[in-house]
Amino acid sequence: MSVTQTKVPTKPKSLTQSDIETYDVVIMGAGFAGVCQARHLMLNIPGIKVAIIDPRSPERDGNDLKVGESLVEITAIFLYKELGLLEYLIENHPPKYGLTFHWPKDSNGTQTIDDYHHIWVNGSPIIESFHLNRAKFERDVLKMNQKMGAHFYNGRVTDFDLTPEDELHTVQVKLGSENVVLKAKHLIDGAGRRFLIGKKTDNLIFDFNTEKLGGLNTGSAWLRIKNIDPKIFDKGYDPSLRGASRYYTTHHWFGKAHWLWMLPIDTEERELSIGITHHKKLIPSKDINTFEKVKSFLKANHSILGELIEGGDLVDFHYLPRLAHMSKQTISQDNWYVLGDAAAMFDPFYSPGLVLTCVAIESVTAAIQAKLAGEADAKEKQRIFNQFLVQYQLRYSRIYQKHENQLGHASIMSWRIYLENIFWFGILIPMYIGKWFLNPQFVEVFSKSADYLFLNEKYNLFGDFYQQFEKLVEKNVNIGLMDYTRADQLIGGFGPQKLLNYSDGLYNTQFEPWRFNIFAGLKLTYFYVAIYYLKLQYKGFGLLGVLSPSTLIRVGRILGKVIVSAIAEQIFLFKTRDVSNNSTVEGMRKDFENYRYQSSLQPWIS
């Protein structure tokens, strides 16, 4: 895509080259990862000296589009809690009321919204969220960073040297006709698919046939369209079901070996981002790599979206033939780091790219903070944080196993979504809110559970589920629709989203590190997964499936995790029995003890 590049370095003219050539941190790339990392560093490490390098104009044009515009809970919390951007998001970006899912009732007829089976949102989200106009966001946050003291070099990185241990890295930058050399104690690659550090260190995994990428071989086409008519798919009136906006959600449309997203990124011009992720084994790139081919595909398979596009004005179109990749290392003990698309990408489903980025940003800040402070265990933190982040990537790579055959099966895919949301709301969000991923002791223990859930070659829980789903797809079995937004499909009025409320962590603002009760989430997640497992066996394989020895053994193992988590929770509650939910609130309450009502007014007329 074409962007305008300025040729004048945007560094403060009052500073000499010797003043600005050495930085605590140099960030290559001013996209989402780069600008967010810079802001997070400056908010958490007073006086830190940060430089950002990017060849694109700081006045980012509207064509600077990427995959990744939908914020999920972790990303939203990061932006408005860790970066202090809630009011900015409210004032500048469309709201998001959750995820909706649509499957054709009959692939021969997809002209109207009634031709689809749906999972709709049924109320406002527990955690406020948004859709991002990425170009606008990156431009605005870059300006905020400059006001906070970051130096922005509007040029291109031509070369850099990575040095061992704590020696300074050097970065060569071309600024128009001028060449500048910067030195950095810590060097961060947030430059996306240029893979600056990845290529220099042989740090990337692209081969989809490798075990780590799990056979994920996908491509993606996406476009933006404005001046659309939203009433084509949503009339805006449904008093018996409507609890929140249906337009302002991230819509997912499914079919054989593909899924599409559709989400609003601008309110004034009614602009939508629409994209497709396709599995190339069944839908090759050559059949879907142009706008005309995508439009033909939609007319044939999702006529309602084809009509939507025909009625609007095309802004731009993009195609990426290879989505999936990951890094062998994200945090190096030689003080270099990779973030965002430079580190990993698998599939836009569930918006993992931004989640991985936000978790990595906080880990990188914690590692750099420890190094700059000279903490004795700083290198050990780098090792542990890197171990967690690489494993986090691996877990996400497993989430997309066997998608190509299951995406278009409404019954089976709804069960997958329900299962994955149990773990999302029960473990991943509480772990993020409580900053447990920054607790080295917890990370070491939790990482071992990833083997059981995702990574063990002989048996892992998610692999077991996905294999069973595959069998049911092959049998073309309808086992019903599981709606993750509802609380009437498992015992006890359970619904995945309710997991966030069981410990009262949100209500009591347990936002400080290691106060949110992650162990309650682990306990309840495993308990309801055991119930879910039994229900799946019964619906899919009958009473014999429930009573089979393999089922009883596997459910027993899951319940064993419940017991271990319950014991860990009691230990946690005992250790934190005298710790307040929130130190600021505790201080406010103590201050209020001195309050006395005063019935008089101060004079205001002279």
CA dist 45 and 170 (Å) reads: 22
Give residue 427's Cα distance to chain centre. 15
Q: What pLDDT, in 10s, does the model give residues 117-156?
A: 999 998 889 999 999 999 999 999 999 999 999 999 999 9
Mean pLDDT score of the chain, rounded to an integer?
92
More confident residue, 232 or 325: 325
Q: What pLDDT, in 10s, does the model give residues 276-307?
A: 999 999 999 999 999 999 999 999 999 999 99
> Residue 8 above 70 pLDDT?
no
Tell me what pLDDT residue 211 has.
Answer: 76
CA dist 570 and 574 (Å) reads: 6
% of residues, the chain, pLDDT over 70: 95
Residues 405-414, mean pLDDT to the nearest whole number: 98
162 close to 154: Cβ distance less than 8 angstroms: no
Query: At 157, is the secondary structure helix, strand, or coil?
Result: strand
Residue type present at position 495: G
Tell me what pLDDT residue 4 has.
Answer: 31
DSSP string, 369-435: HHHHTT-TTHHHHHHHHHHHHHHHHHHHHHHTTTHHHHTT-HHHHHHHHHHHHHHIIIIIHHHHHTT
> Residue 314 above 60 pLDDT?
yes
CA dist 74 and 128 (Å) reads: 10
Tell me what pLDDT residue 240 has.
Answer: 73
CA dist 119 and 253 (Å) reads: 11
The neighbour count for residue 215, using CB atoms within 10 Å, is 16
Give strand pairing partners of 244.
none
Burial class (CB in 10 A: 0-12, 13-18, 19+), 591: exposed
342 close to 192: Cβ distance less than 8 angstroms: yes
**Sequence spans of domains, the chain:** 17-84+133-204+327-394, 95-130+217-320, 434-587
Token pair in block for residue 203: 């740090």
Contacts of 143 by beta carbon, 8 Å cutoff, 6+ apart:
58
pLDDT band at 445 (very low <50, low <70, confident <90, very high): confident
CA dist 339 and 385 (Å) reads: 13
Q: What pLDDT, in 10s, does the model give residues 24-54?
A: 999 999 999 999 999 999 999 999 999 999 9
Question: Which of 48-62, 134-148, 149-163, 243-257 has the lowest average pLDDT?
Answer: 48-62
CA dist 334 and 331 (Å) reads: 8
**Where do runs of H (alpha helix) occur along 116-203?**
134-148, 196-201
CATH 3.50.50.60 fits 17-84+133-204+327-394, yes or no: yes
Query: At 267, is the secondary structure helix, strand, or coil?
Result: coil
Segment 526-531 long-range contacts (CB within 8 Å, at least 24 positions apart): 526/558, 526/559, 526/561, 526/562, 526/565, 527/559, 527/562, 528/422, 528/426, 528/490, 528/494, 528/499, 529/419, 529/422, 529/423, 529/461, 529/558, 530/555, 530/558, 530/559, 530/562, 531/490, 531/491, 531/494
Nearest residue to 517 via CA among 562, 576, 559, 447: 576
**Where do runs of H (alpha helix) occur along 104-260?**
134-148, 196-201
CA dist 322 and 341 (Å) reads: 12
CATH number for the domain whose boundaries are 95-130+217-320 = 3.30.9.100
> Residue 464 above 70 pLDDT?
yes
pLDDT band at 15 (very low <50, low <70, confident <90, very high): very low
> Residue 253 above 90 pLDDT?
yes
519 close to 503: Cβ distance less than 8 angstroms: no
